[in-house]
Structure 1
Amino acid sequence: MPLSLTPFLLMVQLGFVFFLSRRCALQSHRVDLHRAVTLFLFWIAAYGVLTSVLGARGLFISDALMPYLPGLWLQVITVSICVLPILLFSELRRGLARIVEGTPLHWLAYFHALRISALGTAYKTSIGEFPLYFELLVGIPDLLFGLSALWMGSRLQRRQMSRRGFLRWNLIGALVIVPAAPILLQLGLPGPLYVFTDAPDARAVFTYPMSIAPMLVVPLFVLINLGVAAQLWVMDRRNG
């Protein structure tokens, strides 16, 4: 199995949210909200195990799946798995909202410096193990956003960035990936929309353990961007 940082990135993502939730619970004495967030993280981790098993078995790059345009909808399953519990359970919504409200904003910015790990795909591209077109159009912009997290975190820490500016930055972080990445992935997969046919094609992205990135790690970064932006907007509306 090729070496990949993606399993460790997933563990760091889930661990960071758990740490922030526990910190807020200790400050506010709302253990019930922390419990809801913890169960949510276990739910995501279980889904991560499932997608890892399916990826290791080659499901995401199987010839039988290719005609069904999997690049366009596989990540939609992940988004649904993550968003549905938030829509259904009010305690979970309050717990996640409290994390954003109770965490220093520069921590939330520095978290996205993890996206500098996109250097790994840049290296794989240089040795011919990752599709060049996808690295140029998605990987490098994602890397640049990760680098900008260091700048944004520093600005927030010195109180030189407004909350609204941080909100816009989070929206940019989501737009780096959506909607371009799913479309570009599909254009590199065999099937009706196969455009980028040079090897390696987008099947390299869905090959385990790299498959953990498009199936969970990257969607989580985007959902965190959007969740933070949404809660900042709510806070601005509340404060007039």
Structure 2
Amino acid sequence: MKISTLPFLLATVLGFITIITRRAVKLGYIQPQNAKNVYYLLGVLGLWTVVSSILAIKGFYASPRFWALLPGLWFPFVPVSFCLIPFAISSQFRDSLIKILNATPIYWLVYLQGLRIAALGTLYKTIIGQFPVHVELIIGISDLIFGCSAFYIAKRVRANTIGWRSLAIWNLVGAGIIIIPGEIAIQMGLPGFLQMFNSPPTAEVMFEFPLVIAPTIIVPLLVLMNGLVAWWLFKTQPVSLRGKKGKIMLRSPI
């Protein structure tokens, strides 16, 4: 079995969400019973990771039957749907998310996106011929640049020299450089009528374990966090992103 840092990266993302949720409970922003909904969702995402990893190890993702479904265009949206369904149907869940973010120093959320510097791994694999060049050029490099920018943006947040609109736009950019280009880039390297790049290594390597963890759970989660933070900023419109002890200053209590 290949050794990879991806399982640890996933554990970091899920652990981060767990920590800020527990922190919100401890500070009295949400009730423990509301936090349970977040924990249940994390459990579902963890289960999905296990199932997807087993399917990759068993070779299901390498079958013509799977390629015929054009998975590059929709497969990364599976974990996204797990998150968007409760968000869309439950106002209580949305309210809990708002309060969790209200309780979280915003620069923590920015630093989370710094994990995207892990794209250095795919850059290295591309250089040594183990990762598709077209995928790296279309989304890998931009993802790496965005991850690096997180440290500069976090510094500006902590210095209170950036407004909520600019931060929201930065998060939307982080989501936008992945959502559409990523799906197209992956599918262009997979078997099917949309395939344009068939010289090894093709995008098929992205559905091998452990690399499959990245497009099927880690990247979607980071993009979801981009979207969630942008939505929260537009909804709350904080006067300052850094008040006393790093807490945000809202226009009105929410």
Give the TM-score normalised by the residue count of structure 1: 0.95
Q: How does 1:143-222 map to 2 (within 5 A)?
A: 143-222=144-223
Deviation at 1:148, TM superposition (A): 0.3
* 1:21–1:95 Cα contact (<8 Å) kept: no
Aligned counterpart, 2:242? none
Larger deviation, residues 59-68 vs 15-24: 59-68
* 2:14–2:42 Cα contact (<8 Å) kept: yes
Deviation at 1:183, TM superposition (A): 0.6
Aligned counterpart, 1:40? 41
Give the alignment's Cα RMSD to 1 decimal: 1.6
Gaps of 5+ in 2: 239-249
CA distance in 1, matches of 2:90, 2:10: 23
Aligned counterpart, 1:2? 2
Deviation at 1:80, TM superposition (A): 1.1
CA distance in 2, matches of 1:163, 1:219: 23
Which residue identity does 1:180 align to in structure 2? P
Aligned counterpart, 1:15? 15
Aligned counterpart, 1:75? 76
Which residue identity does 1:95 align to in structure 2? S
Percent identity between the two aligned chains: 38
Q: Secondary structure at the match of 1:119?
A: helix
CA distance in 1, matches of 2:118, 2:98: 27
Alignment coverage as a number of residue pairs: 240
**In structure 2, do the counterparts of structure 1 residues 82 and 60 end up closer, same or farther at CA, with 3 Å as the change threshold?**
farther
Which residue identity does 1:233 align to in structure 2? F
Deviation at 1:81, TM superposition (A): 1.6
CA displacement 1:160-186 (0-9 Å, x = unmatched) = 111111111000000110100001100
* 1:71–1:186 Cα contact (<8 Å) kept: yes
CA distance in 1, matches of 2:83, 2:210: 21
CA distance in 2, matches of 1:3, 1:171: 33
Gaps of 5+ in 1: none
Give the TM-score normalised by the residue count of structure 2: 0.90
CA displacement 1:112-135 (0-9 Å, x = unmatched) = 110001111111111111001111
* 1:58–1:208 Cα contact (<8 Å) kept: no
Q: Which runs of 4+ in 1 moved over 4 A?
A: none
Which residue identity does 1:55 align to in structure 2? A
CA distance in 2, matches of 1:209, 1:34: 30
